[in-house]
């Protein structure tokens, strides 16, 4: 994993791209994407998602895809031209990721509750059918955890001892207005998973969680995060959930970006 | 038919290590031998069909071919969106095998009936549907299609057709009585009631055991428009479910559908009694067919 200072710089670049993409397309779930920037930047640094036959990244909260597109751009997988065509008829990038079109996207998500069981199936296949050392890393949202299929998937992941599966719960509290998940860590633990609570924007905590010794169980990182992190006027402001970024907002966001 | 399913899939698992069987906590006893032999490729997933379906898609993403098995409403209706997105939209390949047909679990009530499955599966682009009317047909369909790069739905039934057709064509079409001005084509298990229903009725009789994008042209190629002007399709599931597979026949033939009425069935009883309640027994079918001729 790269040094924290490098990752901080990369996250800032990613956030800039997210804002520019959303402005250019007049589309995108910006705060949800900003929420998972550190998760994506850190995981791409820690795991090997680039080489075929190695680790696999699954973004289950598909509406956070601008963060993934930004990382894929910074890695050279996607071009600026492709970013410019975000949500356009001739483009490959949409408001949710499409595995049939986008290099680096392993699952077409957007409908919540699909990505984690999909990732569990992949992890099972890698470990038990192919017998290789591939790891699967899956990001889900906390609101997404309302979907029962995730809890079904945790049962499966635990039953099959998928210690090659790491689940990142982007716990930004966006689901609290409907259903409180607390005590989330206790609930996950009771399913037979290895639970680690981290600050989802703190690289030292993330590094430590990623590097912990495998326990023979699936790992679930309950990552406390801030929806809209890095752009103060968007942070924890539900009005920005799926709001078009106009020029004035873009300029203000870039100016205030931290 | 269920035993043919178990025997054929067990044999296929022995011969093809890409196949992975995922059971929704049914059929486990029947697959006990292969489960013991291949514990990593034959799994009792438990009763969690939504996760089982997405899990299977993840398995498919790795290059394996998952075979998913449960009772029709739990295999198709409950995880429909998982099938649509994770397999259909993502172009991943899975083989779905249901039991229960429309009313095989007649005594267990409406939760276990499934006359809506073909309509749902048919709504997912790229899926082909197999509706064998005998164990022999099922065995042949499985052997030909378990390894194809296409999503498949095999709809098993407890009913078994023992009559041999006079001629068999490709695409699951068989001839039981030479074509006339009206030809009745019985889909899936409905041929079992259909042969009796058509006794003494001046119609040609055929059966159809597969539905895909080639079905309409395959049906058309077996009929002569100078002789046949009307085709009646008998559907052992909700009436009209098959329409989109067959609509192109309208340019050459008048087509009609006779199927299960789109109403909930609240009855208990035997399968025969539920077919009667749903106007799908031979007497009712005869009356419904004669009304259209």
Find out if CATH 3.40.50.970 is the number for domain B2-155.
yes
CATH of the domain at A33: 3.40.50.970
Q: Which residue of A has its CA nearest to B18?
A: A129
Cα Rg, chain A, nearest whole Å: 17
What is the domain range of residue A50? 4-256
pTM of the full predicted structure? Answer: 0.96
Phi–psi pair at B289, nearest 5 degrees: -70, -45
Between residues 75 and 104 of chain B, which touch chain A (CB distance below 8 Å)? 81-82, 85-86, 89-91
- Pick from A62, A108, A125, A147 the residue to mutate for testing the B interface (most B CBs within 10 Å): A125
Q: Which residues contact A104 (CB under 8 A, 6 or more apart)?
A: A49, A57, A68, A72, A75, A77, A78
Q: Residue A53's pLDDT is what?
A: 80
- Nearest residue to A200 via CA among A176, A167, A231: A167
Query: What local confidence, expressed as pLDDT, does residue A210 receive?
Result: 95
pLDDT tens digits, one per residue of B171-209: 999 999 999 999 999 999 999 999 999 999 999 999 999
| Number of inter-chain CB pairs under 8 A, A vs B | 94
The answer to whether A117 contacts B90, with C-beta atoms less than 8 Å apart, is no
Closest CA to B138 of B159, B166, B165: B159
Burial class (CB in 10 A: 0-12, 13-18, 19+), B248: middle
Confidence label for A232 from pLDDT (cuts 50, 70 and 90):
very high
Q: What is the pLDDT of residue A178?
A: 94
Asked if A124 and B90 come within 8 Å (Cβ–Cβ), the reply is no
| Cross-chain Cβ contact A156/B48 below 8 Å | yes
Segment A148-179, tens digit of pLDDT:
999 999 999 999 999 999 999 999 999 898 99
pLDDT in tens, A14-57: 999 999 999 999 999 999 999 999 999 999 999 999 887 899 99
Residues of A in contact with B57 (CB under 8 A): 118, 121
Cα A176 from chain centroid (whole Å): 19
The 8-class DSSP code of residue B165 comes to P
**Radius of gyration of the CA atoms of chain B, in A:** 19
Upstream peptide bond of A249 is cis (omega within 30 degrees of 0): no
Contact state of B51 with A100 under an 8 Å Cβ cutoff: no
Give SS3 for A102. coil
How many independent structural domains does chain A possess? 1
3-class state of residue A36 by DSSP: coil
Q: State the pLDDT at residue A215.
A: 84
Domain definitions of chain B by residue range: 2-155, 167-292
Instruction: Nearest chain A residue to B61 by CA: give it.
Output: A122
Instruction: Give how far the C-alpha of residue B167 lies from the chain's centroid of Cα atoms, to the nearest Å.
Output: 21
Alpha helix segments (H runs only) across A26-144: 30-35, 37-46, 65-74, 80-84, 115-124
B58, A118: Cβ pair inside 8 Å?
Answer: yes
Q: Which residues of chain B fall below pLDDT 50?
A: none
Structural domain B167-292, CATH architecture: 3-Layer(aba) Sandwich (3.40)
Q: Which residues of A touch B55 (CB under 8 A)?
A: 117-118, 120-121, 124, 153, 156
Predicted local distance difference test score (pLDDT) of residue A86? 96
Examine domains B2-155 and B167-292 and report if their fold is the same: yes
Mean pLDDT across the stretch A197-206?
A: 97
């Amino acid at each position: 994993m790269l040094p924290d200072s490098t990752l901080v710089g990369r996250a800032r670049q990613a956030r800039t791209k997210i804002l520019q993409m959303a402005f250019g397309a007049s589309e995108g779930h910006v705060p949800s994407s900003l929420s998972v920037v550190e998760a994506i930047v850190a995981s791409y640094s820690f795991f090997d998602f680039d080489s075929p036959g190695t680790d696999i990244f699954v973004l289950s909260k598909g509406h956070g895809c601008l963060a993934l597109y930004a990382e894929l751009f910074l890695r050279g997988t996607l071009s600026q031209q492709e970013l410019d065509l975000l949500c356009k008829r001739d483009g490959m990038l949409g408001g949710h990721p499409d595995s049939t079109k986008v290099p680096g996207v392993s699952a077409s998500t957007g409908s919540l509750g699909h990505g984690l069981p999909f990732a569990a199936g992949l992890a099972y296949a890698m470990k038990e059918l192919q017998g290789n050392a591939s790891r699967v890393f899956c990001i889900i949202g906390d609101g997404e955890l309302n979907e029962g299929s995730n809890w079904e998937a945790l049962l499966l992941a635990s039953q099959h001892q998928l210690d090659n599966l790491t689940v990142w719960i982007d716990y930004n509290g966006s689901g609290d207005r409907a259903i409180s998940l607390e005590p989330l860590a206790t609930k996950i633990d009771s399913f037979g998973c290895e639970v680690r609570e981290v600050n989802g924007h703190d690289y030292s905590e993330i590094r430590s969680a990623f590097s912990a010794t495998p326990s023979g169980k699936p790992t679930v990182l309950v990552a406390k995060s801030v929806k809209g992190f890095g752009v103060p006027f968007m942070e924890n402001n539900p009005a920005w959930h799926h709001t078009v970024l106009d020029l004035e907002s873009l300029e203000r966001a870039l100016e205030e970006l931290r | 038919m269920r035993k043919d399913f178990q025997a054929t899939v067990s044999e296929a698992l022995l011969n093809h290590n890409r196949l992975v069987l995922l059971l929704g906590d049914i059929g486990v006893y029947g697959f006990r031998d292969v489960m013991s032999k291949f514990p990593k490729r034959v799994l009792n997933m438990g009763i969690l069909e939504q996760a089982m379906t997405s899990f299977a898609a993840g398995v498919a993403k790795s290059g394996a071919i998952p075979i998913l098995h449960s009772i029709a409403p739990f295999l198709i209706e409950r995880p429909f969106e998982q099938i649509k997105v994770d397999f259909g939209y993502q172009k991943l390949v899975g083989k779905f095998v249901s039991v229960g047909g429309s009313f095989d679990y007649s005594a267990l009530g409406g939760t276990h009936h499934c006359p809506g499955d073909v309509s749902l599966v048919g709504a997912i682009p790229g899926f082909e549907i197999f509706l064998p009317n005998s164990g022999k047909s099922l065995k042949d369909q499985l052997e030909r299609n378990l390894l194809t790069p296409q999503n498949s739905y095999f709809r098993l039934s407890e009913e078994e057709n023992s009559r041999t057709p006079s001629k068999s064509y490709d695409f699951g079409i068989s001839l039981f009585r030479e074509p006339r001005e009206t030809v009745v084509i019985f889909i899936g298990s409905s041929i079992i009631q259909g042969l009796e229903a058509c006794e003494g009725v001046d119609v040609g009789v055929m059966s159809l055991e597969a539905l895909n994008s080639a079905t309409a042209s395959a049906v058309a190629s077996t009929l002569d428009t100078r002789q046949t002007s009307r085709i009646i399709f008998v559907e052992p599931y909700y009436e009209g479910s098959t329409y989109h597979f067959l609509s192109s026949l309208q340019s050459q033939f008048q087509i009609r559908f006779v199927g299960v009425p789109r109403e909930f069935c609240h009855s208990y009883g035997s399968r025969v009694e539920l077919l009667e309640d749903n106007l799908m027994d031979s007497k009712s079918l005869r009356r419904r067919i004669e009304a259209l001729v």
